[in-house]
A and B are shown apart, each in its own frame.
Chain A
Amino acid sequence: MASLDPVDFFLLLAGFSVHLWALICLLRKGALPRYFTLVLYLCCSISAGVGRCIILNTAGFHSNTYVYFYFYSDALLIICLYFILMSFYSHVFEDMGAGKMVRAGAMLVLAGTAGISYHMIAASSDRLITRFVIELAQNLYFVGVVITYLLWGAMMKLRENRTRLTQLVLSMGIYVSLFATSFAFGNLHALPAISRYYFPLMDMWLPASWIYTFVRVPEDARMATARVIAPSQ
């Protein structure tokens, strides 16, 4: 593949394998009906990975086509992450019968994000590919951070004790804040050359944490919320 060194190639393969492994784990654990959005995200991520491979093969790592495809497929994957977050909201609030409110909230967030993104694209059409894609990714991930933080706050308030759900939300929080921090840093300073290895590595966090959660934590496992938030006695 054009302009790919062995480390790039290894990371590409490892990322693809981890996503595929996570998908198999989720399906084997029967998570499809309850965690459909996670399966959807993994399918989209695997498809995006295959698309990136094809473009790498034809256009090369440093081509504009690859950069466009990478960042815009990433933006679509973030929208999938929003769907996952909304499903987490509905899990948390399912006992309160707030399904309609969650759906309305989800539509509002999606419409708001789409509107802001469209405004940004319309205002920045002369500087696409340069800093714009980084800004867009940074803002989309930051919206994810805010939504996850609000969800985590609600879970603490409601004394949510489902271990699996807690770990899924926290791992999502780590993922979106890690990416928001990295893109914001890239916006402040030019990203170092090593970032080409760093981003694929970070990308593996979410499927790896899901594998751990679905393999090691049973659906009915419970833990005291106080143990996660309060200092040890």
Chain B
Amino acid sequence: MIAALIFALSFLTLLQFFVSYSRSLIAASQGHELSEVAREICGVTARRVPGDQFRRLLVLIALCPEPGGDSLQIRAIAMYFHLLDLTRSLLSWAVPSSSTWIEAERGGCAYAAAVALDRRIAYNRMMMAQQASN
């Protein structure tokens, strides 16, 4: 009985901590202004990146060598994105109003992925410029 209670409470707090942690990672990316190249790749003109772009951005991120240290952030955000997808498929018929919030969150994930891609592109350009100068 106690184990079941601890299991349920710990699982709920795990979900809450995970969502908050992912949101803190996304919030840290919000201050970054996307470059023209990243905007072109993402196919956006405004500050918002549609949530549907997230998977495509992940593929592009995987193609770019990482500058180091952001793979944990990308994995955590990807897990949060999958959690949102699952919530959307479970809740959309029961609570239609939740879809607006979920879509905004998915957009936040996509923006954070676009920022990570932008940083990687900038890093790769710098590396190429260094190689060219050598």
With an 8 A cutoff between CB atoms, is A122 at the interface?
no
**Among A177, A187, A228, which residue has its beta carbon within 8 angstroms of that of B24?**
A228
Query: Bound state CA distance, A185 and B23, in angstroms?
Result: 27
Asked whether, in the complex, the Cβ of A223 is within 8 Å of the Cβ of B17, the reply is no
With an 8 A cutoff between CB atoms, is B37 at the interface?
no
Query: Bound state CA distance, A54 and B99, in angstroms?
Result: 53
**Among A180, A209, A224, which residue has its beta carbon within 8 angstroms of that of B27?**
A224
Q: Given A170-B21, A188-B3, A223-B27, are A212 and B14 neighbors across the interface (CB < 8 Å)? A: no
Query: Bound state CA distance, A140 and B91, in angstroms?
Result: 35
Query: Bound state CA distance, A216 and B74, in angstroms?
Result: 13
Query: Bound state CA distance, A65 and B107, in angstroms?
Result: 51
Q: Which residues of chain B come closer than 8 Å to A170, judged between CB atoms?
A: 17, 20-21, 24
Asked whether, in the complex, the Cβ of A163 is within 8 Å of the Cβ of B17, the reply is no
With an 8 A cutoff between CB atoms, is A46 at the interface?
no
Q: How far is the CB of B17 from chain A (nearest CB, A)?
A: 4
Q: How far is the CB of B131 from chain A (nearest CB, A)?
A: 24
Q: Which residues of chain A come closer than 8 Å to B17, judged between CB atoms?
A: 148, 152, 170, 173-174, 177
With an 8 A cutoff between CB atoms, is A45 at the interface?
no
**Among A152, A180, A211, A221, which residue has its beta carbon within 8 angstroms of that of B28?**
A221
Query: Bound state CA distance, A211 and B21, in angstroms?
Result: 15
Ranked nearest first, the 7 interchain pairs of A and B with the lowest CB-CB distance are A173-B17, A184-B7, A177-B14, A180-B10, A227-B27, A232-B104, A187-B3
Beyond A145-B13, A173-B20, list 14 extra A-B contacts (CB 8 Å): A149-B13, A166-B24, A167-B21, A173-B14, A174-B14, A180-B10, A181-B11, A188-B7, A212-B70, A227-B30, A229-B20, A229-B23, A232-B107, A232-B108
Q: Supply 30 A–B pairs (Cβ within 8 Å), ascending by A.
A: A142-B9, A148-B17, A149-B13, A152-B17, A163-B24, A163-B28, A167-B24, A170-B17, A173-B20, A173-B21, A174-B18, A174-B21, A177-B11, A178-B14, A180-B6, A181-B10, A181-B11, A184-B7, A185-B7, A187-B3, A211-B72, A212-B69, A212-B70, A227-B23, A227-B24, A227-B26, A228-B20, A228-B24, A231-B101, A232-B107
Name B's A-contacting residues (CB within 8 A).
3-4, 6-7, 9-11, 13-14, 16-18, 20-21, 23-28, 30, 68-70, 72-73, 101, 104-105, 107-108
